[in-house]
Copies of this chain bind each other. A is one copy, B any other.
Amino acid sequence: MNTMSHQPRLERLRRRMEEAGIDVMLCFKPENSFYLTGFNPIIYSHPVVAILPREGKASMLVHALRDDHARASTFLEDIRLYGAWSTKVTMGPSWLEALKTMLTEGGFAEAVVGIEEDFLPMTRYRDLQGILPGARFADVSQLVFETRLIKDADEIANARAAAAIADVGMYAAVDAVGQGGNEREIAITSMAAMNRYWAETYPDAEVCDFGSLEGGVQNGLWTWVFTHERIFMNCDNPTVRRPVKGEPVFIDIWTIVNGIHAENERTVAVGTLPDEIKRAIESIIAIRESIVPLIKPGTPISELYAQARRGLEENGYGRFLPGRIGHGIGLGAHEGPSLDAKTSFPLEAGMLLTLEPNLRMPGVCGTQISDTILVTETGCECLTRSPNGFLQV
């Protein structure tokens, strides 16, 4: 635990809270409560509430059974408990009553309380209204989103580790394609290689992802494999289909280290591809190369999409335009911004993106190439390093 690492993000959040007139912020969304506390319980069946006042100490409310785990993970000092578990002493059986006590004692009974309207379920919102009838609630979804856009030093270090693991998975997967494995064999070989590398190389890192109300995500080192017409599935479990000569295989690798994701996706030719497919892959590689110089502070995001569009149209692929050519990545495997025609705000140093202008030509073929890219002060740095030119086994 680096007790200093969270200071930049909390300061940036507080500055925005000041601008928006928010007195205290409550975060329930797993990615956001982790962002404010450093604690990921992996499963969220018992709520974790991160409480950030504009001034004063941040605190966290967790179920008694999460006490030891929370203390071992968080950079906060103030941890409060609810519920019943063995000999733990708690504030009471209900998180809601405990939160009411904390907020009332903190002087927030009539405050402006920031909540995540893009995540908070309606019943939970009504519960909050019930315990704080004199408060005014305001949405902080956009405020937190904007703060998360710029990654802190610890997040960038975690992205580098996640990218390094993804590279290991890609080498193993490409090798397994060459060995003649079916989709599942390729995926399983690659995931096992990533897990071994993680276990040996990063003794202090966690690779769990963020769970939900009903489930937990214990291990987030994943390899997706798509062959033949299955490339049009985009997101699906690997099957027992075996690639055959003359077809492209999509390998999509998603990883996570200490809450930060990376993505490395490649299209691998099995033997010699038909000209039409080879031309599509080579066009996409050239289009990617034409976009990279634009990835630097100040470039409007829509310019990246416009450049991809020009390239696709010039190569005769104007009928097959994708909706977007990448997305933000960080605490979310897919988070904002969307790299599309409508997103016009400029890139800034510290943003983390995937670059993936790709083709889906129904009945013909497709391409899938993606890298995790950090926007730097002077340009950009590709964190995923495995070869991203034309790959053939």
Q: Kindly identify, within residues 19 to 41 of chain A, every residue whose CB is under 8 Å from any CB belonging to chain B.
A: 30-31, 41
CA distance A191 to B193 in the complex (A): 12
Which stretch, A100-108, A154-162, A233-241, A270-278, touches the partner chain B? A233-241
A319 CB within 8 Å of chain B: yes
A136 on interface, CB distance cutoff 8 Å: no
CB distance from A386 to the nearest CB of B (A): 19
**Cβ-neighbour of A31 out of B120, B195, B214 (below 8 A):** B214
Chain-B contact segment, one of A7-15, A215-223, A287-295, A374-382: A215-223
Residues of B within 8 A of A86 (CB): 319-322, 359-362
Q: Cβ of A66 < 8 Å from any Cβ of B?
A: yes
**Within 8 Å CB of A332, what residues of B?**
213-215
* Residues of the B chain whose Cβ atoms lie less than 8 Å from the Cβ of A31: 214
Whether the pair B125, A323 counts as a contact (CB closer than 8 A) is: no
Contact residues in B for A206 (Cβ distance below 8 Å): 236-237
What 0/1 pattern do residues 74 to 87 of A give for CB contact below 8 A with B? 00000000011111
B240–A322 touching, CB < 8 Å: no
Q: Which residues of B contact A232 (CB under 8 A)?
A: 68-69
Chain B residues with Cβ below 8 Å from A187 are 219
Given A322-B86, A323-B85, A335-B214: A203 touches B240 (CB 8 Å cut-off): yes
Of the listed residues A121, A319, A321, the one surrounded by the most CB atoms of chain B closer than 10 A to its CB is A121
Check B122 against A334 for contact (C-beta < 8 Å): no
Whether the pair B65, A234 counts as a contact (CB closer than 8 A) is yes
Are B42 and A235 touching (Cβ within 8 A)? Answer: yes
**Contact partners of A121 in chain B: CB under 8 A:** 116-122
Contact B218 A237 (CB under 8 A): yes
Listed residue (A196, A210, A235) with the most chain B CB atoms within 10 angstroms of its CB: A235
Closest CB in chain B relative to A94 CB, distance in Å: 12
A214 touches B331 (CB 8 A): yes
Copies in the complex: 2
Q: Does A184 contact B (CB under 8 A)?
A: yes
Choose from B185, B203, B212, B236 the contact partner of A69 (Cβ within 8 Å). Answer: B236
Give the interface size bracket for A toward B.
Answer: 35 or more
A323 contact set on B, CB distance < 8 A = 64-65, 83-85
Q: Within 8 Å of chain B (Cβ to Cβ): is A72? A: yes
A240–B121 CA distance with the chains assembled, in angstroms: 38
User: Within A234-271, which residues are at the interface with B (CB < 8 Å)?
Assistant: 234-237, 239-240, 254, 261
A235 and B43 contact, CB distance less than 8 A? yes
Interface assignment of A95: CB less than 8 Å from any CB of chain B: no
Cβ–Cβ contact A334 & B45, under 8 A: yes
Contacts of A334 on B, CB cut-off 8 Å?
Answer: 43, 45, 214-216
CB distance from A264 to the nearest CB of B (A): 14
Residue of B nearest to A233 (CB): B69
Determine the distance from Cα of A196 to Cα of B240 in the docked complex, in whole angstroms: 12
Evaluate contact between B222 and A362: CB separation under 8 angstroms. Answer: no
Q: Evaluate contact between A72 and B233: CB separation under 8 angstroms.
A: yes
* Interface status of A199 (Cβ within 8 A of chain B): yes
Closest Cβ of chain B: how far from A252's Cβ, in Å?
A: 9
Q: Is the CB of B235 within 8 A of A41?
A: yes
Q: Are A195 and B191 in contact (CB under 8 A)?
A: yes
- Which 10 pairs of residues, A with B, have the shortest CB-CB distance? A214-B332, A218-B222, A184-B199, A206-B237, A68-B232, A86-B360, A117-B122, A69-B233, A215-B333, A84-B323
Interface set of A (CB-CB < 8 Å, partner B) = 30-31, 41-43, 45, 64-66, 68-69, 72, 83-87, 116-123, 125, 139, 141, 184-185, 187-188, 191-192, 195-196, 198-199, 203, 206-210, 212-220, 222-224, 229, 232-237, 239-240, 254, 261, 319-323, 331-335, 359-362
